[in-house]
């Protein structure tokens, strides 16, 4: 595999993690009962936070400074 594809994959992964992070922040602005009363949304939020947590722990995503 060429370095171009590896770099491209890393940039795509970074963009995906940033998008997921922003989505979770937006959902976090909703009243809690709007999330907890919708099991599918609640499960998706939990899973999204697990994905970001693992990415941060493994060094694949760095939370932007100031947050």
- Calpha distance 38→9 (Å, rounded): 34
pLDDT at 11 (0 to 100): 86
- Calpha distance 55→52 (Å, rounded): 5
The pTM (predicted TM-score) of the whole model is: 0.74
**Is 54 or 65 the better-scoring residue by pLDDT?**
54
**8-57 pLDDT tens trace:** 788 888 899 999 999 999 998 999 999 989 999 999 999 999 999 999 99
* Structural tokens at position 46: 């939990």
Each domain of the chain, given as residue ranges in start order, spans 3-57
pLDDT at 66 (0 to 100): 65
Q: How many residues does the structure list for the chain?
A: 67
- Calpha distance 28→24 (Å, rounded): 6
* Structural tokens at position 49: 């936070």
3-state secondary structure of 63: coil
């Amino acid at each position: 595999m060429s370095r171009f594809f590896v770099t491209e994959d890393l940039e795509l992964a970074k963009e995906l993690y940033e998008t997921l992070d922003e989505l979770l922040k937006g959902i976090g602005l909703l009243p809690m009962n709007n999330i907890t009363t919708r099991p599918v949304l609640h499960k998706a939020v939990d899973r999204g936070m697990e994905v970001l947590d693992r990415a941060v722990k493994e060094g694949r995503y760095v939370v932007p400074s100031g947050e």
